[in-house]
Structure 1
Amino acid sequence: MDSDVKARAGGSDYDENAKIGLREDRHVDYSAQRDEHLKGLGVDGGFYAWLVVLCSHVCLMFVFGLYQVFGNLFVVLQHYFDVSSARTAWIIGTHICFLHILGPIAGVLTKKLGYRTTTMAGGVLSSMGYFISSFAHNIEILYLGIGVLVGTGYALILFPSFGIVPFYVKKKYALANAISTAGGGIGTFIFAPLFRVLVKHYGWRGALIFFSGLNAQTCVCAALYRAPAKVGLRKYTPKETISNRRHGNLTRASIIDALDFQLFVDHPKSILFLFVSVVGIGMGFMGLPSHLIARAEMTGIGDATSRSWFLSMLGASSIIGRFAPTPILLRESSLFTASRMFGGAILCGGLSTLIGVLAVTYTGYAVYACLFGFFTGSTFNLVTYVMKEIVGSERLVSAAAFSAFFTGIATLLSPVLAGLLYDATGNYNNSFYYYGAISTFAGLMMLTLDPWTSRLELERQAKRHAQSLKL
């Protein structure tokens, strides 16, 4: 196993490692035991490895697919409760905020309780959120149900589902990551028309009850999450094992260690990545799908049935976008690096929104939805790849948690701000100008500063290497 998958965990992962007789000890070589164990798990191309990738795909299908379907639900709820666009936007704003802002907590729980347990807890919590929301008699209940409960549950699903893939697939990680993240696009493509049919026949309450049960399939996928043994581990004594189980290794020191603030010192490029993610994705991308259908209705494009297909178009093009960077990543091109493609995808997504404001026909709006879906799909694929490229597999969950925390703050405010712009002007075009401009700015920042931060990263790595040689 690569050197970046080194032991640094606790809790149930340690207990699991104790069963196979491993824990950190630099003076003892357990490589033979490790290799035999990983071979049994089918790491790097085995059947079980790709089964885990498929489960990650399904989990992300619910996490990202259902939130983008809110574009259909947005109009329905606004009319049903007779509230403003800004008040309705608080539902998705709260949902996306909790999905991201709880990243550090989800990261700690993943390390301390394990991938399987954390994801199962998220599946149960999110299904409860959908079920409770179906009985809402005012919009504030939806803030709690879809916003807080579903958002929290999806946070507990998202980070283990991202983090477990690189432990199983290394040589073909670019392909595995594309398959995993494509779940969001496929979810949007499938769930958007399904939700419309359910609302038509059973109402929005019946649709939420249906999705409550369907969403529980994430627990089935979580049952197959089993983190591979980590490199260089030694045996626990019975006394240590009992102590760890009793206290759960959730001391203040272990939580701080799990959060891993040191990664920002070790990898300065992660600061640029964090800024671009917060501005470009959190403020520019995440809230836009919830207003996609509302703007089409305002412009008079199509009828209610035909407008609902815009989200499916977005989802279908997003699937293509998630696979588009993979051939280039597998070739390891020096010109088209993951960081440059990441910045370029955000830039193009912002420009497509600025140009898309001009679309006033069904065909023109469909083209815009497809372009936006393609570039956001490419962005979401590259997010995890760039993070792994910067910090390595071992610190991927921590990096994703920090990124999501700050992105969550932005996503809480962005849809609401766009809704306020509509309430103040009576025109969704201003909201789309806001989304497009801020994404374009973030993409330009990434492309401009990436060469400098890459050189700084190399200098920092060389300095650490020199210090290790002195030791």
Structure 2
Amino acid sequence: MFSPDSEVRHWPVVLASFLTVGLTFGLGSSLGVFYIEWFHEFPQSSALVGWLSSSVNAMLLLFSPIAGALIKYLGNRPVVIAGALISFTGLLIASSGREFYVLFMTIPFMTGIGCSMCYSGTMTIISDCFRKHFALAFGIAYSGGSFGIMTLPVVSGFLINHYGWRGALLIISAIQANILVCAKCMKPNPFGQTSTNLVDIGGKGYGSLEHQLSPEKAAPRDETEADGYSKASFSQNQSISTSIGDDRSKDDKLANNKNLLEKLVQFLDHAGLSLVWTNRVFASIIPLPILTSIGNSVTLLFLFARAESVGIPGLQAELLLSVVGVANIVGNLANGPLVDANVAELAFIYGVVEAVVSVSAIGIAILESYPFFVVYAVLFGFSSGIYIPLGGIMTANSPTLDKSPNEFKVN
């Protein structure tokens, strides 16, 4: 029906990615609603409970280089399926946890890592399937996170009020399992970067047999030397044989260590992780989101609690996160036309919106009235809706980078 190079047939992938991002990034951004419940339930410090509330987003981004390497080796769909199962299992176990350490182990290290695998797979498959309309498709797919931020806090608050936080986590884990259905729609593009360049672990490379030391080169002694030593006394032969064995054992260990090092270099090279120290453009992009990540963490984690602390009712405080989500969707959808219009350099736009998001950590501490909270939520949501997908587009459009799954997750 469509030509092999037509992008129309890939739009179901955008829909599946939209839902997956909403259930992963949106989940991590809405766990702040559970902060007060966990703080009252467990005798832990507010800092530790706050870290738990933000741990999913932290692990989502921190684990993304490893998830990108897995995608390079295994493909998008298997990684997304595995991530969905891990995330679902983590929430399911956490819902029945009676001790804080259960949540400490499951939410960051199971749900967070699982969400990272799902999120990374969706971001990569968009770059595989779209070239001409990449900015638009990327913006639509990423707006799923905004949709999740808009809906999941309200849904979570409703579930907490009716079923408690354990029942809420149990139901959310069932919702999270729907990523498995989305993964079914993520059919790999045979003409994409990742699908056509899956790494063959047994292929030639830095760790192939061609680069290993041959037994002849590794042996420190030849037969002529052995014949010369055979003329010595029995005790001398015995000591020399021991010395030869020790030397040969040392050489074998050196060869094995070199082989392991070469295989590690091969893995880092094929996975794209070596770009961190081999490509100056990529290395310069990586530090940019650090300040904005601080602003994101403070806003999404403490906005609800801060609003309640100044006397704003619970439902209105939950709606602030929904306002962030709506503004984020508008920013995501405006991102594609803004890039295509070429009204300014992408780096300039990126710097402006990053500055707005970065100062958000200061703004949230001085707000007192609800209208100012709403204005703050709109500015933060719109700016973050532009800068996050814009970072991926800047990376994808860089002419000096060899595209790999890790390049689209620097944010």
**Short-chain TM bin:** 0.7 to 0.9
| Structure-2 separation of matches of 1:381 and 1:294 | 28
Deviations 1:319-351 (A, max 9, x none): 111122221211234xx1222211111101234
Contact 1:193 1:309 in 2 (8 A): yes
Q: Tell me the equivalent position of 1:27.
A: none
Deviations 1:13-58 (A, max 9, x none): xxxxxxxxxxxxxxxxxxxxxxx9x934xx54323x1111111111
- Secondary structure (helix, strand or coil) at the match of 1:69 reads helix
Q: Tell me the equivalent position of 2:7.
A: 45
- Secondary structure (helix, strand or coil) at the match of 2:172 reads helix
2:280 counterpart of 1:268: yes
| Structure-1 separation of matches of 2:400 and 2:23 | 26
2:252 counterpart of 1:291: no
2:335 counterpart of 1:325: yes
Closer, same or farther in 2 for the Cα pair 1:347/1:253, shift >3 Å? closer
Supply the AA of the counterpart residue of 1:310.
Answer: L
2:324 counterpart of 1:363: no
- Secondary structure (helix, strand or coil) at the match of 1:367 reads helix
Deviations 1:160-191 (A, max 9, x none): 11011122111111111110110000011111
Q: Tell me the equivalent position of 2:120.
A: 159
Matched ranges for 1:87-166 at <5 A: 87-166=48-127
Number of residue equivalences: 351
Supply the AA of the counterpart residue of 2:138.
Answer: N
Q: Tell me the equivalent position of 1:398.
A: 406
Deviations 1:360-408 (A, max 9, x none): 111111211121111111122212112212268862412245x36xxxx
Q: What's the RMSD between the two structures over aligned residues?
A: 2.9
Deviates more, 1:164-173 or 1:84-93: 84-93
Contact 2:52 2:104 in 1 (8 A): yes
Q: Tell me the equivalent position of 2:397.
A: 389
Q: CA deviation at 1:196?
A: 0.9
| Structure-2 separation of matches of 1:242 and 1:290 | 41
Contact 1:116 1:225 in 2 (8 A): yes
Contact 1:178 1:323 in 2 (8 A): yes
Closer, same or farther in 2 for the Cα pair 1:84/1:46, shift >3 Å? same
Q: CA deviation at 1:229?
A: 2.2
Closer, same or farther in 2 for the Cα pair 1:294/1:286, shift >3 Å? same
Structure 2, unmatched stretches of 5+, are 209-259
Query: Which structure is richer in relative contact order (CA contacts within 8 A, separation 6 or more)?
Result: 1
- Secondary structure (helix, strand or coil) at the match of 1:83 reads coil
Q: CA deviation at 1:97?
A: 3.1
| Structure-1 separation of matches of 2:185 and 2:144 | 17
Matched ranges for 1:210-225 at <5 A: 210-225=171-186
| Structure-1 separation of matches of 2:395 and 2:317 | 36
- Secondary structure (helix, strand or coil) at the match of 2:185 reads coil
Deviations 1:208-260 (A, max 9, x none): 11111111111111112232224899x9xxxxx9967xxxx995454222233
| Structure-1 separation of matches of 2:358 and 2:179 | 32
Task: State which of 173, 184, 192 in structure 1 corresponds to 2:145.
Answer: 184
Contact 2:80 2:121 in 1 (8 A): yes
Q: Tell me the equivalent position of 2:349.
A: 341
Contact 2:157 2:318 in 1 (8 A): yes
2:400 counterpart of 1:378: no
Closer, same or farther in 2 for the Cα pair 1:119/1:385, shift >3 Å? same
Supply the AA of the counterpart residue of 1:338.
Answer: L
Deviates more, 1:344-353 or 1:122-131: 344-353
Q: Percent identity?
A: 25
| Structure-2 separation of matches of 1:298 and 1:177 | 37
Q: CA deviation at 1:358?
A: 3.4
Alignment TM-score, normalising by the size of structure 1 = 0.69
| Structure-2 separation of matches of 1:184 and 1:122 | 17
Q: Tell me the equivalent position of 1:281.
A: 292
| Structure-2 separation of matches of 1:400 and 1:242 | 23
Give the greater-gyration-radius structure (CA): 2
Q: Tell me the equivalent position of 1:8.
A: none
| Structure-1 separation of matches of 2:55 and 2:173 | 19
Q: Tell me the equivalent position of 2:44.
A: 83
Closer, same or farther in 2 for the Cα pair 1:97/1:232, shift >3 Å? closer
Alignment TM-score, normalising by the size of structure 2 = 0.78
Closer, same or farther in 2 for the Cα pair 1:346/1:397, shift >3 Å? same
| Structure-1 separation of matches of 2:395 and 2:201 | 36
Contact 2:54 2:301 in 1 (8 A): no
2:296 counterpart of 1:309: no
Deviations 1:100-135 (A, max 9, x none): 222222111101111000000000000001100001
Closer, same or farther in 2 for the Cα pair 1:145/1:262, shift >3 Å? closer
Q: Tell me the equivalent position of 1:446.
A: none
Closer, same or farther in 2 for the Cα pair 1:265/1:136, shift >3 Å? closer
| Structure-2 separation of matches of 1:326 and 1:101 | 26
| Structure-1 separation of matches of 2:193 and 2:329 | 38
Contact 1:172 1:330 in 2 (8 A): no
Q: CA deviation at 1:265?
A: 6.2
| Structure-2 separation of matches of 1:287 and 1:123 | 27
2:134 counterpart of 1:168: no
